[in-house]
Structures are given as C-alpha cells and as structure tokens.
Structure 1
Amino acid sequence: MVNDIRNGLAKPMLMAAILAAALSLTPRTPLAQVADPLAGLRSLKTVTVPGPPAEVLDEYVKDKAAAIQLGKALFWDMKVGSDNKTSCASCHFHAGVDNRITNQLSPGSGLPGTDRTFQLGGPNYTFKPSDFGFTKHVDVNQPQPQLSNVNEVSGSQGVFTANFVEFGTGATGDVCANVSDDIFHGGSGYNINGINTRQVTGRNTPSVINAVFNFRNFWDGRANNIYNGGDPFGMRNPDALVWKNEGGVLRQTRLAIPGASLASQSDGPPLSSVEMSCAGRSFMKLGKKLLVQRPLAGQVIAADDSVLGPLALLRAKDQVPTYSEMVKKAFRPHYWNSPNLLTMSAVDESKFASMDLLPARHFKRSTGKFEVSQMEANFALFFGLAVHLYESTLIANDTPVDRYLDGQTGALNEQQLRGARIFTGSGRCSRCHSGAELTAASFSSVTAQRLRRMPMGDGLEAVYDNGFYNIGVQPTAEDLGVGGLDPFGNPLSETRMAQQGKTDLLGNGFDPAKETAVGSAQRVAVDGAFKTPSLRNLEFTGPYFHNGGKSTLMQVVDFYNRGGDFADVNIANLDRGIAPIGLSETDKQDLVAFMLALSDDRVRYRKAPFDHPSLCFPQGHEVGASGALLQDGSTGNGVDKMECIGAVGARGASSGLKPFLNLDPFQR
C-alpha cells in the first residue's frame, strides 16, 4: 500500500509566491480550511540550518570537517558508555530513534506521588502489537469510555544501576560498584531473585535527525539553546567553566555559545546514570578513558563511509589516530595545548551537572585529588561541539512533500494531497506542526516569539512556551514536561523563568520588552507540556508521543480525532486545538498517507549522511529454559542479549528500515 501511495499522480501546486506569502502567518495558522493543500508549508531545503554564528564557532573549532568526523566517531562508539556497550547511537540507530522491543518498558516518570509499579509487563518484557495504545477506548473516536489505561512508558534501555569508582582503560569498561535496583529487577513471570536488569528511560527517545532545527532539545527543552561547554543547562549553571591557555597561563572562562542546543543535548546522556554512565562519572574521567584510545575499536567502518571512510583506510594501515590526535586536529590549540596539569577534586567533577532531573541516588565520590591535562579538563567541550556538528549534518529534507513543494508536481498522489488538505485545514495539524520544519518548536518559530498567550482548553487565557503543548496523552501529574525544574531549582519553562525575573539566564536574544508580558499574577500553562516534534520519517520512528504509547500512525490520528485521551483531566493546561475533529475513516486513511510522504528514502536506506559503522547493543536479557533470567556471574546482573547491525556506507543498504514492530502504519 505504501508503494502505491508514492507512485500516484498529483495535482499542480499553486504559485510559489502564494506559498511564500503564507509564511508571514503566525506560527500557529488559523483553523479554517485553506484552498492550497500545503498552504503555510515549504520545502525544508529552503531553510537555513541553525547553529552558532561562524565567528563564534571559529573561536573553538579549527577544522570543521575534522570535528564532524570526531563527532560521528564519538556518537557511534560503544566505549563512551561506562559498560563499553552503550553509545549515543544505541538509542538513535534506527532513523534517529530506538525501535528495540525487549526491556524497553519503564513504570513512568518517577515524579513524587506517581505510580512506580509495572502494570503492562515488567523488566525484560517484550512488546507485542496488542499492548498498544497504552490507553484503549470502547470507540476509537470517543475519549470516553476507556477500556483500560497504563501509565507506563516505552523508553530506551540504558545501563545497570551502579556507582562510578574509576575510569576504564583499553578494552575495559569503567570500574563501578553495583547497586541493588528497587525498580528494574524481578520481572513478570520470572523467578530471578532480584537480579538487576538494565534501567529504562522515563520518556520515549526523540529523533536526532533534523533535531538541529529545534530551538531547544529533549522533550522538556532542558537542552538549552545556549551552550556552556559542559552540560545541557546553559547559563542556568553558574559553575560551568572551561580552561583556556592564555599566554602559557591556564584560566577558567565562561562560555555562552548561542544556537547550540545540540551541543547542550550531546553533553547530557554520557553522564546520565540511567542512559550511559555509572552514577558520579565526570567528563574529565571520560576524557581520561577515551583520549588515549582509537575510535570505534572493535566496530566495523565501511570503506565508503561518508565521514569515517578515511579512518577505515588508516585502520588497514594500522595508522588510526587516537581520540587525542583527533581533538588536536579539530579544535583550537589554546583549549588543549597546555603542558601543565590541573589538580582536581570531587567538587570540580560535579560542576557540570548530570542531565538526570529525578532526585539523585546518593553515592560517595572519591575525596582524593587527581591530575588532569587541559584536554581532559575540556573534554566535555570537545564532545559537545563535535557531536553537535555531526548531528547538524543529519538533515532529512528530500521527502516527496519537499519535492512537491520544490515544484515537482508528480511527487504526491491524489490521496496524499487530500491528506495534505486535512493536515493544513480541518485536521488542525499544522497549527503546531508548522512551517518548513513542521514544528512550532523550531529555531525560526521560537526566535520570532519565545512566549505566547492563548486561551487554554478551559477557555481562559494563559502564557506558555512557544512550541511546547499539553495534548492530553496522559494526566498532567504523571509527567510535568517543561513544567519541571532543572538541577539548580529553576523552572525548565522560559515562561516561568520570565515570571520569576530570571530572563538574564535565557540568553539568545531574549528581550522581555518584545515578549508577551508575564507578571507575577499572570496565569501560566506549561505543566504537562512537551516539545512538538517534527514529522519527517514518522514511518520509522514509532512508538509515538513522549510516552511511546501509540504504535502506528493510525493510532496517532485516532488520538487527535477524538480530542486526546485525557483532555478533561488536563483542561487547565490543555492546548486549545485538542478537541474532537470528526474525521471520517477515509479522511484518516488520507492523513496517514500524507504523513508517509514525509519519509526520506536516504533515511530509509541509510544513505549518506545517514550511513554508519557497525553497532551492537543490548536487546534485553537472556532467559534460561526454566523461564528465569540468566545471571552474569561476574556482576550479578542479568546477562545481556546482544543484537548487532552491520556497517553501512554512503551508498546505503539494499533493504529499507521497517516501522516499529513491523506494523502497517494504517492499522490500529
């Protein structure tokens, strides 16, 4: 059916000038039906890729191509994880997301007062199609009555619960002390006597593809648009400093690099005690581990890899550089060339904050002093900027919709054009999935207006963060989203920051005089709101929403058509567009067909820039003949069941990516 959709005939598009005029509309376009099926949209090829100003980036980066190569190596290298099995790509290997199905279930956000028990399955559970949606209805077109609801999350498995002791060397992972996990142990139907399984994140994994267009990243926007050189929190962190060699003297300096949300995001997972790290590891210790090693040791690099190919050739000659040598090639010397060592302590290690927002598990850092080189002290800076530059190349802008908007009138068929009219008209989709980026959370949308005012679901006006909406996926109290707090006690919400008079910490040109006023008595609606994702490559990026609670695009369309699942509960914070739509079954089919036209075949076949080295990752844990989880005798944890994907070069693979659970996007 999908191939039939792609190969149909299309109606001629309206004049390009009309589309250009439509771009002057507010980021949340009117609800009225419009004549042009793609009014207000344009090809992503026409959008300038956001990023730090060239003159700012030039202060740090000496060779951009070398930095991109370093970033791609670090992104895919399994040694970045404390266990030497977990890379950034472990959760982003499939069209920028994670489509694993075993041990991907989390009991929820972990907020105080929320249910932390498993309802659907348990640790090491394997998803099946009938598990979705997590909220089930008597009639898919009506929010009530509900047949059932589970408040669990389809997240991503990370690392075992453990505390950092010392960094690993060579082929070994970090030395860590195992901790008995009170959530991710046991398992429905398993007699495993409390054996730890890998932890699972409390939210579904967003795609890194096209993430460069987001003003902030992560579902709750914690990856700040201002990069401080070491963690996700920008100027909110008063202790974030890097070391600069000024005439032979090492001095600490504060960074505030604008347009660098991906760098802020990149520095989050490597220190997360859930995602990649034993609790308490610092970037300095990660630098000590990695800088002496050669990139991607034990992983295959295709000879024609669009970025890493030269490393494959050097590997054949046994001339692969170390990460230290790659840093020297990519970055300005005054951030790494000092011969002097720095004496550090546990206090210095903790100055860059972990991205984990839940109450930290107590662990005891070493009280001893240790020495690091300037390069090790600044490893977070190199890691963040290099991965930022690599991820900035992951732009999927060659979909049938983009080609149609570029003037190729045969790119979309009749059904897809009918779906486009619903998308921009009666379906109300483009109100939040606006512009060429298909998200109101884009850099262009948010920099035009950071704070906005509108009537909420209850009809009363409130101010909110542009691009972040509560759409009634789960009750607000289950996960506050952008309504939560950062590690320094500040609101993640820019609206609440402005309300508290902390606009000096927002940066990137935030001007209170030009923004929607938000006084101390002003009503604010940000709780339970999450960043609007872009819609490209939706065919491959299920399960959907921040909780991963829908498995197919048809389930997503049903959700919006009935006006959400918990609109009544979330009414005070609810986006005003979440209300029953009244689409027919044919309308729904057409809308799904349009969304499938947002797939880029370069992503489907992993062609450059989406090619990659080989990768092995845990896919749950091994189970014995008795049904009991097998235990690793050396750690006491569950035995990982590893799965591998092969290296793919610039020309791509012969077989295309499949949807989540291999489900037909049109099925429920």
Structure 2
Amino acid sequence: MVYTVMLGAVFGLAIYAVEAHGQSAETETMPPPASLKTVPVPGLSASELDDLVTDKKAAIQLGKALFWDARVGSDNVTACATCHAHAGADNRIKSQLNPGLLAGDKTFQLGGPNYTLKASDFPLTRHADVNDAATIIGDKNEVVSSQGVFTHSFTDVSRTGGADTCASVSDAVVHGGSGFNVGGINTRRVEPRNTPTMINAVFNFRNFWDGRANNVFNGGDPFGLRNPDTLVWKLENGVLRQVDFSLQFAPLASLASGPPLSENEMSCQDRTFAKLAQKLIGLRPLANQTIAPDDSVLGVRAFAAPTYGALIKRAFRPAYWSSISILNLSAADALKFKTVDLELSRQSRNPGSSLRPQQFNSMEANFALFFGVALQLYQATLIADDTPFDRYAEGQTAALNAQQLRGLAIFRGQGECIHCHAGAELTSASFSNVTGEGRLDQRLGDNGAIFRYDNGFFNTGVRPTADDPGVGGVDPFGHPLSETRMAQSGKTDLLGSRFNESAIAPAALTAVDGAFKTPGLRNVEFTGPYFHNGGKATLMQVVDFYNRGGDFAAKNHPNPDPTIHPLGLTEAQKRDLVAFLLTLSDDRVRFRRAPFDHPSICIPHGQAGDEKSLKANKTGAATDIMVCLPAVGAGGAKAPLSTFLNLDPFQH
C-alpha cells in the first residue's frame, strides 16, 4: 500500500511516497527552503489599515507597551510577555506543570503544582530503546506549560493603577479541584498546553496549537466570523452604532484578544475588556517598569505618551473612540465576547460575578479592538530572518559547515522534516502555504480511503489522541475548530478570508483528531520544552521521537500523518540533524537586539516552598518567587539566551 501526501505550493507538485512497511523515498528532488527574507509579511490590507489606524508607529508603540505591561494582568504581575519573554516562549522550570486536565486528569504523576523540573524528568514518555516506539518504560501525561494567575473571580478594577479587586476562590472546590493547590493553599494555574513562541507568529494563518485564534479578527474575541454577534462600535454620521466588523488575515489580533481575559493566563474570571480599559486608559504606559533609553520602539526619542488613552487617540481613527455617548451594556452584552479558555481547563462560573449592567464610553467598549490590532502590528515586527541558514539560502555558501549541510540534506530527505516544516517559514501552517496550496489537504489511507485534514495541522503521535483533541475540538459555539469539518458541515461562510474550496468535495473521513499546528523552527534552540505537551527537553529528544516514528502513532491510527514512521537514522545522522537545527537561531534573538529588545519585567517563577508545602501570603494564596529581567535596549544584552534547563541540545 502506498500513501500519497501533497506538499506545499512552494514546492510545486513534489510528493512523498510512503510505503506500508514504513520506508520512504522522495519521488522528486525538492529544493531547499528559501530565506525568510523572501516572504512578504502577511497582515492587514492597506484599506483596512486606513479605516482603522491614523498613525501606525503609534499603534506599534501601543502594542509593545501593552504586551510588556504587567498591569494588563488582574494581579498587576502577569503581562503577555510573562509567558513569552525567552525567545518569545517560556523557559521557567518551577510551577509549570498542568496535571493533564484536557485528558480528564487532575492528579500529578511527576511532582506537584509547585514542582521544580529537572533534566532527569525528560522525556515525559521514556523508552528502553530511544529508536523503538514499542519499548515504552514510563509515561506521564502532565503538560509542561506556563503558570498564569491564581483562581479568582472578578469584582472590579482600580482606576489608580492598582491590582483588580477579585474574590479568592479555593481551587480545591472548583470543578471538584483542578490540582492547583497544596494543602488548600492555591498555586498559580497552569495552561493546558505548552507556550509556543510568538516570534515569527505573524506568518501563521491561524494561531494557538489548535488554530482557534481565527484568521479573521472580529474586533472582540479570538473566534472571527464564528461569533455571530457584533462586537465593535463606530461613530457614523454622528450616531454611535454597532457595526459588522472583520479584518482578514489578522490571526495575531485574534490571538491577542484571548489571554488578557483568560482565567488561566492573565485575568480574574469574568473580567471584560471594557473593564480592563477603565483600569488602563488613564495610566502612563509601563509606569512601574523601566524602558531602556535606546529601546527601538519605546525609547525616549520615539515614545512620549502621557496615558494609554492618549496613545489610542494618536494611533486610531476617531470614529472608534471619540463618541461622547455613554453605553449601557448588560450582562448579555458581556457574554457576547467568548473566552479563549478550553472548557476542561476552566473553573466553574461564580454566580456572583461581575456580569452585571455597566456604563462605558466608546473607547472602553472598543478596547479589545485596539488591543488586538496594536499587538498584531507590534508582533508583525518580530521577524527572525537573519540566521546562518537564511544567509546560506541567500547564497552565502560558507554560512553552514559540512555537518550542518549534512543535517540540511537529512531535513529535506530521509528525515522527512520538510513535509510539515515546509517553505521559508518552516511550517506548512503558514499564510503562504495555506493560501497557496489550499486550506484543506488530503491523503490516502488504508484500502485507498481518502482522509481530509486542515493544512498544516498533524497528529504526530506525541500523546494518545484521547488526551487532547487539538484541532479536532470545538469552539464556544459548538462548531468544529477544524476547517475540514466545518466544510463537511456546510459552514464555509464562517471561515472568512475568501475561503473557496467548494470544488473539492469533502471526504467522509478526516484526520484532524489529535492534530496540532506545525510550529516554525527558527530559534528552536531556545524555545524548549517541545511539542504541545512540552514533553521533550532537548532537540535530540525531538529527533529521537521522529526517528522512532512517534510515541503513540500506532495507537492513534489512522489519524497520524503517514510520514510518522521509523526513519532509520544513525546516531551520527541524528547529530547532523540537530546541528542543522541550531543554524536556525537568529543572533538578534539570542542577544535581545532590536526588534527583540524589551522593557524590564518581573516574572513569577513558582511559589515559596515546594510541591508538598507552601507559604501563604496575606490573601491566603501561595507567595510568589519573582525573577526580574532588566530592560534591554536596541543594542541588546551581553549574555546570550540559554537552552531550556541549560541542557546540551545533543543530549538524549
């Protein structure tokens, strides 16, 4: 039996033939990926920008300030950057475990909610023979992810810059307990999936591991046209009214509208963007943090904003913020904005929450719009395209040594990496691949059956499919996250961005359950731990995983991609492949040089005590241990970034 797999449009008609016994061969010689510098940066159209933005530079300044400002979090501690401060990802090691909530597991097998990770904990799925998937000798379904906020329900914001007023909720009682407490003392909640880097995320057609940060931004939440409600207010002919709103190709804006209200990541439960606006609009950006004088965006010569409100007025069209009308918004209005939190990771709703009638002005009511667009424009500047590999692809043949070139050949050939990590972006989930080849793809399965799947999303056998549905899950409206299943159910009108694949009849079979978005690989040296569960600590452990054909590919049949099979790489070949992956690091990221420079920030890194005993603070929650990162200007820092746990990338 032969399975045929279509590759990205960037490679024309090249295909792989994958034999039933697991050996593979290229049927055509595939060109190496191009330099990322050759790829246009996707984003808002000129007309969309013109309708919204009056000063793009000011909007980027607003985005960077909001991304790094710890006051965006309900606790005045948690910024977007808190989980994205290390090459755009998170390398903290204490209190970073989720017990496997998406698999229905609330107990910890590895340690506990305040456990400190160590090298010997990895990989989470262990084999007697690293090259043989059938030799599992130990397995833990914990997820290594990012600590967020304590379990609280929202009451109100402070208008003077203080932390939100929130009611403490015992984690031991919500949902029957979700594991984030020790002896009744709450620890910070931990997200149910590992934190991906947001550097180069502008090239993704959808964001989050399961793609739920939609390619269309609706101005209010991550779900694009799937949300039937109108969420944006606009002053038209002197009248403030709600308007139909959609920004095409704005998945970073969709992504940005999720975490600030997430009860796991940044917020007390049931806070709204309008309330966050009331907290921030009158404040000076980053007033409690330090900005380097030569910060490439926020430095003293480039940035002078007395308040966030003033910066919004400078950046955006008056039609979206200038109305003097006062809006009376009900609890039902607040519920139109949907939470990004996955159902099994949430606490139960507090009936005494803040969802009650509120009064807002148009700037406050549209704060999710300003937040999302500003962060999209800022993150669109975070492009790492000056790696040794990019220089090699540009014709500087000496940029890679002999070992790295052997690794590139394996990446393109026997390793089959290029099937999923396609194109200059090194991901088939990229804007150019998805819009070029098509948003749906197909392959042949057993007995000639056709399987359809979302382009760029693959089940690679990292975990049993039942542990986490990935793109096979559902959105808050009950729709499939998978565009394949949306097409099967006739809901293509909700997919936006000129979805038009009606000529390809959807097959009855899908390969979307347990599938996750393929990440890009630049700076992968620094973004461990790896995979959606954070289960591998080093690049060699990742290579071992693919060399043995995944960990649970056989169990997950027929969902895994046919390229997930034993590769037969020797130890020397594996080392060559790791050596090539290290050529994908950009020294501007390594040393935090512009545009990757940043303000200072203090980050929670676990709580005082260990997984068995905690010290409570005056609120009754565990006492944070804070690690502070100094401000870095455009010239960067002297010390380079480290790998996860400071591990050698070649370590098994």
1:25 corresponds in structure 2 to: 12
1:376 corresponds in structure 2 to: 364
2:199 corresponds in structure 1 to: 209
Distance of 2:498 and 2:329 partners within structure 1: 35
2:270 corresponds in structure 1 to: 280
Further displaced range: 340-349 or 359-368: 359-368
Query: Any idea what SS the aligned residue of 2:441 has?
Result: strand
Query: Any idea what SS the aligned residue of 1:657 has?
Result: coil
Distance of 1:457 and 1:298 partners within structure 2: 60
Q: 1:352 is matched with which residue: 329, 333, 337? A: 337
Q: 2:258 is matched with which residue: 265, 268, 271? A: 268
Instruction: Please give the residue correspondences for 1:24-423 in structure 2 after superposition, counting only pairs within 5 Å.
Output: 24-26=11-13, 32=25, 39-111=31-103, 114-182=104-172, 183=177, 192-310=182-300, 314=304, 320-358=305-343, 360=346, 361-364=348-351, 365-366=353-354, 368-423=356-411
Distance of 1:367 and 1:629 partners within structure 2: 33
Q: 1:535 is matched with which residue: 495, 499, 521? A: 521
Distance of 1:115 and 1:459 partners within structure 2: 37
- Is the contact between residue 456 and residue 574 of structure 1 (CA under 8 Å) also seen in structure 2? no
2:4 corresponds in structure 1 to: none
Query: Any idea what SS the aligned residue of 1:176 has?
Result: strand
User: Is 2:629 the counterpart of 1:641?
Assistant: no
Distance of 2:180 and 2:220 partners within structure 1: 36
Distance of 1:619 and 1:28 partners within structure 2: 46
Query: Any idea what SS the aligned residue of 1:537 has?
Result: coil
Superposed CA deviations along residues 288-331 of structure 1, whole A, max 9, x for unmatched, are 111111111110000000000037875xxxxx410000000000
- Is the contact between residue 98 and residue 143 of structure 2 (CA under 8 Å) also seen in structure 1? yes
| Aligned CA distance change for structure 1 residues 327 and 281 (closer, same or farther; 3 Å) | same
Partner AA of 2:542 in structure 1? V
Instruction: Please give the residue correspondences for 1:607-622 in structure 2 after superposition, counting only pairs within 5 Å.
Output: 607-622=593-608
- Alpha-carbon distance, 1:352 to partner: 1.1
Query: Any idea what SS the aligned residue of 1:453 has?
Result: strand
Distance of 2:464 and 2:451 partners within structure 1: 19
User: Is 2:633 the counterpart of 1:663?
Assistant: no
- Alpha-carbon distance, 1:356 to partner: 0.9
Distance of 1:399 and 1:351 partners within structure 2: 43
1:10 corresponds in structure 2 to: none
Query: Any idea what SS the aligned residue of 1:58 has?
Result: helix
Superposed CA deviations along residues 226-274 of structure 1, whole A, max 9, x for unmatched, are 0100110000001142000112210101211101000000001001110
Partner AA of 2:545 in structure 1? F
| Aligned CA distance change for structure 1 residues 24 and 143 (closer, same or farther; 3 Å) | closer
| Aligned CA distance change for structure 1 residues 69 and 95 (closer, same or farther; 3 Å) | same
Q: Which runs of 5+ in 2 are unaligned?
A: 1-7, 18-23
Q: Which runs of 5+ in 1 are unaligned?
A: 1-20, 315-319
Superposed CA deviations along residues 112-160 of structure 1, whole A, max 9, x for unmatched, are xx32211001110000000000000000000012110000100100000
Distance of 1:329 and 1:194 partners within structure 2: 48
Distance of 2:277 and 2:154 partners within structure 1: 15
Query: Any idea what SS the aligned residue of 1:410 has?
Result: helix
Q: 2:467 is matched with which residue: 456, 475, 478? A: 478
- Is the contact between residue 33 and residue 424 of structure 1 (CA under 8 Å) also seen in structure 2? no
- Alpha-carbon distance, 1:372 to partner: 0.6
Distance of 1:573 and 1:110 partners within structure 2: 19
Further displaced range: 639-648 or 102-111: 102-111
Query: Any idea what SS the aligned residue of 1:651 has?
Result: coil
Further displaced range: 388-397 or 367-376: 367-376
RMSD over aligned Cα atoms: 1.9
Distance of 1:135 and 1:553 partners within structure 2: 15
Q: 1:454 is matched with which residue: 443, 456, 459? A: 443
Query: Any idea what SS the aligned residue of 1:632 has?
Result: coil
| Aligned CA distance change for structure 1 residues 186 and 453 (closer, same or farther; 3 Å) | closer
Distance of 2:473 and 2:446 partners within structure 1: 21
Q: 1:466 is matched with which residue: 455, 464, 485? A: 455
| Aligned CA distance change for structure 1 residues 492 and 580 (closer, same or farther; 3 Å) | same
| Aligned CA distance change for structure 1 residues 619 and 374 (closer, same or farther; 3 Å) | same
| Aligned CA distance change for structure 1 residues 653 and 186 (closer, same or farther; 3 Å) | closer
TM-score (norm 2): 0.94
- Is the contact between residue 185 and residue 194 of structure 1 (CA under 8 Å) also seen in structure 2? no
- Alpha-carbon distance, 1:198 to partner: 0.2
| Aligned CA distance change for structure 1 residues 431 and 464 (closer, same or farther; 3 Å) | same
- Alpha-carbon distance, 1:367 to partner: 6.0
- Alpha-carbon distance, 1:370 to partner: 2.1
- Alpha-carbon distance, 1:447 to partner: 1.1
- Is the contact between residue 270 and residue 355 of structure 2 (CA under 8 Å) also seen in structure 1? no
Distance of 1:666 and 1:573 partners within structure 2: 30
Distance of 1:196 and 1:285 partners within structure 2: 25
Partner AA of 1:81 in structure 2? G
| Aligned CA distance change for structure 1 residues 185 and 560 (closer, same or farther; 3 Å) | closer
Instruction: Please give the residue correspondences for 1:432-581 in structure 2 after superposition, counting only pairs within 5 Å.
Output: 432-448=420-436, 449-456=438-445, 460-514=449-503, 516-518=504-506, 522-581=508-567
Distance of 1:388 and 1:312 partners within structure 2: 19
Distance of 1:90 and 1:367 partners within structure 2: 27
1:651 corresponds in structure 2 to: 635
Partner AA of 1:174 in structure 2? D
Counting aligned pairs with the same residue, the percent is 59
- Alpha-carbon distance, 1:459 to partner: 6.9
Distance of 2:184 and 2:302 partners within structure 1: 43
1:587 corresponds in structure 2 to: 573
- Is the contact between residue 77 and residue 295 of structure 1 (CA under 8 Å) also seen in structure 2? yes
- Alpha-carbon distance, 1:369 to partner: 2.6
| Aligned CA distance change for structure 1 residues 459 and 398 (closer, same or farther; 3 Å) | farther
- Is the contact between residue 456 and residue 575 of structure 1 (CA under 8 Å) also seen in structure 2? no
Superposed CA deviations along residues 577-634 of structure 1, whole A, max 9, x for unmatched, are 000000000000000000000000000000000000001010000129x97311012x
1:4 corresponds in structure 2 to: none
